[in-house]
Structure 1
């Protein structure tokens, strides 16, 4: 049984990501933990005065819990999946602290959340909470673009920056993921021309036992290479490895911010380097 953490702020983007998760994991036995997180500083005296007979926690959580339970009832009625069960929770904490605590306490396998999909600054493209989860939460995380409609997934792209080195253990995790969901793996190596031989040889040695399409792009930015690949290939999901270098810096350095949304036009699966 898989344990999936669904994060929601009750926005359209978050709701869309939850529905995507229902379809993506529809053939799996899962318990979905739907969680709403508030900053601890949002406690205000007016909230307490509305329900003087209730304890503080109940006063703060009543409305969001009602919303979460309404989401669960909608999901049960819409999908009628006997293999899916649901739990709801509300937490008041630093966002990533709440997520990490839930991952530990509930043995979470995947985190699922939405991006708002807007153009402009990185925080606007993804939302600051999404950025912080990508950077600080060590768990496989599925980020679903706003308004993205689920379709059967067959092709999965793993792009590698010019100085990315993947080890066998890490590749096994990714390969297990693609095999489990019957996805064709594409590996895109982006490298500088004078450094291509070493990285390509290393890639070929480690990938020789894996069934994948392998392509090398030279003398271009990581952003541009990924964008071009998405234009010329049918890709249903993109994977990225977060390790010592900032995910955001690696993906968007030298990219025009007005074009950022093109890179995340398909769902994004975040994997973390074991030494992150």
Structure 2
């Protein structure tokens, strides 16, 4: 049973991510948790304890719960899928804290949410809820670009830095997607120098091959282009349907802009991004 968290602010962008998730997990038994987060100040009953405030809080919570139930009904009517269950959750909290709390409480397998997807990784992350999630939530995160319609996943691109070999347990979300669609996994690494390849990296590559045994995989070394350009060209030339990378809580923004697979990454605006937390992969 897959447990999927779907944060929503009732926008078209959030709805698009929800419909994408319903198609992605169409043939899989799962529970969708629809989450709406209200500002934490609204929940400060201790400091705002007047009758008027209590009425405002109850009204906000009731209104959110009503909208979530209506949304759940729309999803059920749209998918008509008896393999899917839908539950609703409302929280007074900061967005990332609320998501982290629900992930732990419900033992969520993956978080799916909409992204702006306007033209690159900076637009996707910087100043967004997604950035905060990746910095604080170890659960896999699937960011779905705005207006993206679901398509079968044939090719998965995976950005490698060859710092370590990945454990199978942390790769489970990727395995499930690859198995469902019989998708090929294309690992790529961008070398800043042609002589960068070492025996240690060759060893890690062999360990990765072992972890992905049974899957259709191939490896690519890209040179003579900055990482963001190389990634864009790789995604477009290979017609990548899903881009995957690993990130970590510590110094994530430094990692985003530093020497890592996510440095200045610019990817096709119609390519969803699956982020796995490094702590779950080592």
TM-score (norm 2): 0.83
The runs of at least 4 consecutive aligned structure 1 residues that moved more than 6 Å come to none
**Native 8 Å contact 2:13 2:146 kept in 1:** yes
Residue 224 of structure 1: which of 229, 234, 254 is its match? 229
The equivalences for 1:189-228 within 5 A come to 189-192=189-192, 193-198=194-199, 200-209=201-210, 210=213, 211-228=216-233
Q: Structure 2 CA distance, aligned partners of 1:88 and 1:103? A: 13
Distance in 2 of aligned mates of 1:6 and 1:68 = 11
Task: State the alpha-carbon separation in 1 of the partners of residues 269 and 199 from structure 2.
Answer: 29
Query: Helix, strand or coil: the match of 2:112?
Result: strand
CA distance in 1, matches of 2:116, 2:228: 19
Aligned-partner Cα distance in 1 for 2:40–2:26: 34
CA shift for structure 1 position 203: 4.2
Give SS of 2:245's match.
strand
Relative to structure 1, the CA distance from residue 200 to residue 147 in structure 2 (aligned partners, 3 Å threshold; closer, same or farther) is: same
Q: Supply the distance in 2 between the matched residues of 1:48 and 1:130 (Cα, whole angstroms).
A: 36
| Deviates most, 191-200 or 67-76 | 191-200
Q: Which residue of 1 aligns with 2:98?
A: 98
| Structure 1 residues 197 and 135: CA distance shift in structure 2, 3 A | same
Superposition deviation, residue 158 in structure 1: 0.3
Contact kept? 1:36, 1:91, Cα under 8 Å:
yes
Q: Deviations over 1:196-241 (max 9, x none)?
A: 2346513432244433011101243221221110121121101110
Q: TM-score, normalised by structure 1?
A: 0.84
Query: Greater shift after overlay, 119-128 or 223-232?
Result: 119-128
Task: Give the count of matched residue pairs.
Answer: 266
1:58-95 CA deviation, whole Å, 9 max, x = no partner? 32211111211111111111110011111111111121
The aligned residue for residue 77 of structure 1 is 77
Q: Given that residues 165 and 205 in structure 2 are in contact (C-alpha distance below 8 angstroms), is that contact kept between their aligned partners in structure 1?
A: no
Report the CA distance shift for 1:175/1:107 in structure 2 as closer, same or farther (over 3 A). closer
Report the Cα distance in structure 2 between the residues aligned to 1:240 and 1:252, rounded to whole angstroms: 7
Cα distance change on mapping 1:228 and 1:66 into 2, 3 Å = same
The reply to whether residue 267 of structure 1 matches residue 272 of structure 2 is yes
After TM superposition, the structure 1 = structure 2 runs for residues 101-140 of structure 1, keeping only pairs within 5 Å, are 101-119=101-119, 122=122, 128-140=128-140
Distance 1:122 1:155 in 2: 23
Contact 1:117–1:126 (CA under 8 A) maintained in structure 2: no
Counterpart residue number, 1:166: 165
Name the CA shift for 1:32/1:178 in 2 (closer, same or farther; >3 Å): closer
Measured in 1, the distance between the counterparts of 2:206 and 2:66 equals 54
How much does 1:264 deviate? 4.5
Q: CA deviation at 1:28?
A: 0.7
